[in-house]
Amino acid sequence: METIKKWNDTNLTRIVYPIVIFITGWYVVANVYGLLFGQEDLVYVVVWTLVPAAFVYLAVKGVKLKFRWSFLSAIGIAMILAFALSTCLEIVSPYFDLASFFLTGLWDHFLWPIAFGFFFLCDLRKLPKLFWLMLAPFAFFCLVLGNLCFIVHILFDKFIFPDFPGIFVFWWGVGSWEELRALPWPDFMRGLTFFLQELATFFSTIPIVIFHYLIKSVREK
């Protein structure tokens, strides 16, 4: 613990920015590709595009990202290690398809938690309010709309948004509870693993951190 604390204020700028901007930025390319072929919604693409744009804004502004040992940085380390392992297992699995990995939601599922894990290693207390505002639509989409869609679908078997398949989004090709129950066990567990991974990151930890620091930045002004 004391050894890690000695790393406080270590400049991670040259490590974190390239990793985060590349990982989140590439998914924008994938989303634009999907939009051109009618597979993505424009609002979704815009919301996700704001994420790399926010980090580019920080980098252009010259904001340095320094390591700070905290509960959040411990979470960041756990996210990096867990999803790095998960990515490696995906690559060697029989499900792996290179084009799908780079051009579908698999990219953000596996790699965005790694990007935010590196970001969580840093001292986030003094980042500008505009940065958090740019991330707010993404956080709202995940924490509020995403969870609401899943809850309504599970409890009432209804879809809030016609084009969003509710919880079935984690099982490709599944459109009903009957089809879900009929899945082979490995396919069912793969989708369930995806759901639990995103529940712990996209639909809770990541947006909660964003809103926490957004509220703090507003109060400080």
According to the model, what pLDDT value does residue 151 have?
A: 93
Q: What 8-state DSSP symbol labels residue 37? A: T
Say if CB 120 and CB 75 are below 8 A apart: yes
Q: Is the pTM of this model over 0.85?
A: yes
Range of the domain at 161: 2-220
Residue pLDDT, tens place only, 195-211: 999 999 999 999 999 99
Coil, strand, or helix at residue 66? Answer: strand
**Total domain count for the chain?**
1
Please report, as a single letter, which amino acid is at residue 17.
Answer: Y
Look at residue 74 in the predicted model and tell me its pLDDT. 96
- Which pLDDT belongs to residue 73? 97
- pLDDT recorded at residue 103: 85
Residues (pLDDT < 70) of the chain are 1-5, 38-39, 162-163, 221
CB atoms within 10 A of CB 108: 20
How far does Cα 36 stand from its chain's mean position?
23
Per-residue pLDDT, 220: 81
Name 62's Cβ contacts closer than 8 Å, sequence gap at least 6: none
Q: What's the longest Cα–Cα distance across the chain?
A: 55
Query: How far apart are the C-alpha atoms of 187 and 183, rounded to whole Å?
Result: 6
Give the rounded distance of the alpha carbon of 166 from its chain centre. Answer: 17
Which residue blocks in 121-158 are alpha helix, DSSP H?
Answer: 129-140, 147-156
Q: Look at residue 6 in the predicted model and tell me its pLDDT.
A: 74
What is the rounded CA–CA span in Å between residue 194 and residue 170? 6
